[in-house]
Structure 1
Amino acid sequence: MLVLIEIWESVRDFVATGGQVLYVVAIALFLMWVLMIERYWFLTSVFPKMKKGIIANWDARQDTTSWYAHRIREAWISEASEKLDERMLLIKTLVAVCPLIGLLGTVTGMIAVFETMATQGTGNARLMASGISMATIPTMAGMVAALSGVFFSTRLEAKAKMAKNKLIDSLPHH
């Protein structure tokens, strides 16, 4: 229990140093990871069952060579592809927004520095340092959040593309 309290206090100190913008970065990061975990779950648990159903429906068809059969095959592939690509645009958007949120923290931190300079003068370095911390920490947090998302979202996209190609290969057209 003591470890949890220490972790909570260190997170609270980090947020106090970096400013309120870190909460927005944390929310974006949390949402991004929830969506990526959902996509991994879909690719490993749901899509294989969907793929088996599509293959079973294709194999059960009498006609697999006519123009109509090819259009039905294309429609099934298109529907599966749409399911595979669901929420990927939102994940990519969150990845792109994280550094921008960090930059918002930079702006608010610099405003705090300028306010300190305007009211206290340039002689109080300690007050200016807190504003500079508030300017740099959110930028760093936004970049770290984006980097974690870039790697895993790219991997997710590659897995989805591979799953789609395997589905296409599993539906032979004569």
Structure 2
Amino acid sequence: MIALAEMYDAIIEFMDTGGQVLTVIGFVIFIMWLMIFERFVFISLSYKTVKQHLIKTWENRAEHTSWNSEQIRTALISRGATKLNRNIVLIQSLVVLCPLLGLLGTVTGMIEVFDVMAISGSGNARSMASGVSRATIPTMAGMVGSLSGVFTVAWIKRNAKKETELLADSLIVKH
């Protein structure tokens, strides 16, 4: 319990060091990873039942060779792909947003440095240190969040494409 309290205090101190923009970056990263976790759970667990339902719908059709049947097959594949690709664009937008928020943190931190320089003069390095940390920590946090999301989104997109192709292969045309 003491370790949790110390960890909580360290997180709060880190968030204070980075300024208000770091809180926004943390919230964006939390939402991004929540959505990524949902995609992991869907691909690993829930998609199997969706795929079985789509395959069963196709197999229950009496004929598979007409133009209408081909359109229905295409629609079933599209439904599966749509479910697999849900929220990927939103996750990619959050990935792109992270470094932009980091840049905003850099700008606000540098404004603080310039305010300190205007008040106390340019020679006081100690008074500028907090502004410099407020400028660099959000940038670092935004880049770390963005990089973690980039690799994960690439994995999700690759698996969604693979599963879509496997679904298309499962919906075979019976002559």
**TM-score, normalising length: structure 2:** 0.97
1:57 Cα offset (Å): 1.5
Aligned: 1:17 with 2:50: no
In structure 1, the residue matched to 2:129 is: 129
Which structure 2 residues correspond to residues 32-51 of structure 1 after superposition, within 5 A?
32-51=32-51
**Residue identity matched to 1:3:** A
Partner in structure 1 of residue 94 of structure 2? 94
Amino acid of the residue matched to residue 47 of structure 2? F
- 1:83-162 pair list within 5 angstroms: 83-162=83-162
Report the Cα offset of residue 167 of structure 1.
0.1
- Specify every segment of 5 or more residues in structure 2 that has no aligned partner in the other structure, as ranges: none
> Offset of 1:17 from its aligned partner?
1.4
Compute the TM-score of the two structures, normalised by the length of structure 1.
0.97
CA deviations over 1:47-103 (Å, ceiling 9, x no partner): 111111111111121110011100111111111111111100000000011001011
User: How far has the Cα of 1:45 moved from its partner?
Assistant: 1.5
- The number of equivalent residue pairs is 174
In 2, the alpha carbon distance for the partners of 1:127 and 1:15 equals 19
Match for residue 68 of structure 2? 68
